A and B are shown apart, each in its own frame.
Chain A
Amino acid sequence: MLRDKPYAFVPLLPVRPEDRREVMPHNRIDINRLTGRLVMELEVVTPLHIGSGSYRLNEGQVVRAFLRRDQVPVIPGSSLKGVVRGLAEAASRSCLAQPPGKPCQRLQAATPPGNRQPCSEKAACITCRLFGFVQGKKGYRGRVVFGEFTPCDETKWVVTELPPMEQPFKDYPRTRENRGCGNERLYYCQFYRVVGCGGPAHCPDCTKEEWLRWRDGLKGRLPAPAFRGCKFYLQGDPRQGNQPHEVISPGSRFQGEVTFHNLDREELALLCFALGLDGEIRLGLGYGKPAYFGTVRLGLREARWYTREYLPAKAVELDPVELARNYGCNDPDVARNVALLREILSGKHRGPAWGMEGY
């Protein structure tokens, strides 16, 4: 973990050929697979803002409006899907669906083997099999459906000021060879392999000036860039700023459903883990994660299996919470990432307060 940063990186794992499988077609209900629904409750832990893209006038002040359906604040399925997918990617041997920045020669080899090769219908990683993918004109619709979450009881938003968020991936250094590659110092620096900076945990210790000096000194033998991994924000005490936003207050509860079709046990286990059903993972939703906004906790109310009178009855003895707890235990690399995600997202390891050096 990086010292004094509000975020940490979870390493990308290599994707071996055997990790990709043919996708499950959508053309049947497979009675040997798992279809059903997780009925869930979502608790807001730190103020949550999900933008509607519009503004409202509140006591003479222009505020960014929370997404609502009619007059009710809602958490759209798309927000949850994005966050849960990101967690699933980090906790499995999955492809990197979207490399950051523009296509950049220097970063071609910055991801582990097999990671950047796109998934196809014949060979798809577990995340793409679960959540779908687009490849050129073709694509595969995922088998997990995120419903919209609505308040359990009357929930009102309050107006809170958030600090402005910076676009974090600006090119740095701004050289010709680094164009479109983003911030090397933060995202894919490997200098610690050849200089005595102390390694990733100490990276914030090297100032920009020192870093540039090292870089100049390493001319010709710059270590190959490698992404530190997927970025996850730590949790901490929300920081106020000056940009008014409608937010939902901590303690508010929402309810919603996640429906899944024809999963195998491993896929369902990854889904349950990425939803945080083990109770050790809280998700970061919506806007303002660097300022520790949008921490939420999902809890399982009920798992309902798809049973119908016309289908052969089948007893399903799986406990989604248990699946989430045991996820990854048969692959040491996955288990390491799972442990790291729990450390970052459990909320026990607090992120540094604002204004601290290096933040």
Chain B
Amino acid sequence: MFKNLRNEARIFFWLHTAGPLLIKGPDQPGLDPLLPDMRFIRAWHNGREVPYIPGSSLKGVLRSRAEQVIRALAPDRMVIPDPFQRGRDDEMKDKPGDYRYYASDPVTQLFGQTYLAGRLRCADAFPVEDRPLVLNERNHVAINRITGATQGKALFNPEVVEEGTFAAEISLTNFAVWQLKLLGVLLQDLDDGFLLLGGSTTRGYGRVRVENAQVLVRDYRRHPPAEVLRGYEHDDTVPVAGCRYTNKGYCWEAAREGFEWLLTLNVDLAETLERLHRKQREVQQKWVNHGG
């Protein structure tokens, strides 16, 4: 199925720390004893080693929030499998691509699974030039309840980003309109602190704000869209007032500021899940009836 590129959305935004952020790098046992025992993850970028937010971290929290939202809204009979659940690979591996897509649950459709490439990608987010970047080492100790005193040595001393702004990008290829709306919901929860990034989140780490967002939509089909957003499917179109496309030669392109407008897209998420569930059962049924 998704051999043809029909549409694409890219969301650029800044993740600005609103509290300490802790994303642990890979364990490096026996390295320099003067380094903190839990170093913030770093990578080479523009010739320097800098702290960054891996795309996989961002994608991971978005996925788990998407599961929480979808489970709250999905019809009872719809199964949203645990991403680590084994066994589906075997069920899916010999099936054609569009079966794998439509027979999958909505979370897998968007975020992917070993047997299915997701439509959503998160790029690594690197520090924005000329914005403050402050790192620091924090201490954690355990207090014993019976003695009221600190217990033993420090629990851990992580290196954290106290202040930083990271340029993030999420891209969706061949998206459905409901997926963009859901992404708006997730970004709102992230900006609002109901979704946190990195580790030790219940201890006050990982609060970020979503700033400076811009959504770029591209439509690769021949006819220009008019103040609408067109999903991959032909019947998946919603009006978006003021959304004007310009001709880029190889595609139509529109850009909009902010992510909040995604939340106002005229899509009923619960209804959509109901429809996806019907479709899911339909393709499974067809497969069984026709013996594959």
* Chain A residues engaging chain B, CB cutoff 8 angstroms: 7, 26-31, 35, 37, 51-53, 67, 69-70, 76-78, 80-83, 86, 89-90, 96-100, 131-132, 141-142, 144-148, 167-169, 182, 187, 227, 229-233, 257, 259, 261, 289, 306, 308-311
Contacts and interface: CB of A to CB of B under 8 A. Distances in A.
Contact size range, B: 35 or more
A340 to B, nearest CB: 15
A131 B202 contact: yes
Interface in B8-44: 19-20
Given A81-B202, A100-B144, A148-B207, A259 B194 contact: yes
Contacts of B203: 76-78, 81, 146
15 contacts: A26-B68, A27-B82, A28-B72, A53-B139, A53-B157, A69-B19, A70-B162, A76-B203, A89-B145, A145-B202, A167-B149, A229-B146, A259-B193, A261-B194, A310-B69
B224 to A, nearest CB: 30
B240 interface: no
A165 to B, nearest CB: 8
Nearest to A107: B146
A147 B72 contact: no
A97 B151 CA distance: 12
A69 B137 contact: no
Contacts of A142: 202
Contacts of B137: 53
B147 A147 contact: no
A76 B206 CA distance: 12
Nearest to B189: A308
Contact of A306 (B140, B194, B270): B194
Given A28-B67, A29-B71, A148 B147 contact: no
B269 interface: yes
| Residue from B71, B139, B146, B202 with most neighbouring chain A CB atoms (10 Å) | B146
A310 B73 contact: yes
Nearest to A31: B72
A84 to B, nearest CB: 11
A9 B102 CA distance: 61
Contact of B202 (A146, A229, A233): A146
Given A78-B140, A259-B193, A27 B71 contact: yes
Interface of B: 19-20, 64, 67-69, 71-73, 80, 82, 132, 134, 136-140, 142-149, 151, 157, 162-163, 185, 188, 193-194, 196, 200-205, 207, 263, 269-270
Given A7-B148, A230-B146, A145 B185 contact: no
A182 B185 contact: no
A131 B203 CA distance: 10
Nearest to B264: A309
A53 B36 CA distance: 13
B147 A169 contact: yes
Nearest to B200: A78
Contacts of A31: 72
A352 to B, nearest CB: 16
A138 to B, nearest CB: 14
A232 B148 contact: yes
B268 to A, nearest CB: 8
| Residue from A28, A83, A168 with most neighbouring chain B CB atoms (10 Å) | A28
B147 A168 contact: yes
Contact of B205 (A77, A261, A309): A77
Contacts of A167: 149
A147 B207 contact: yes
A90 B145 contact: yes
B146 A233 contact: no
Nearest to A7: B148
Contacts of A141: 201-202
A169 B185 contact: no
Contacts of A99: 146
B193 A257 contact: yes
A310 B146 contact: no
A231 B204 contact: no
B15 to A, nearest CB: 17
Contact of B69 (A29, A76, A144, A233): A29
A86 B204 contact: no
B145 to A, nearest CB: 4
Given A169-B144, A187-B146, A100 B201 contact: no
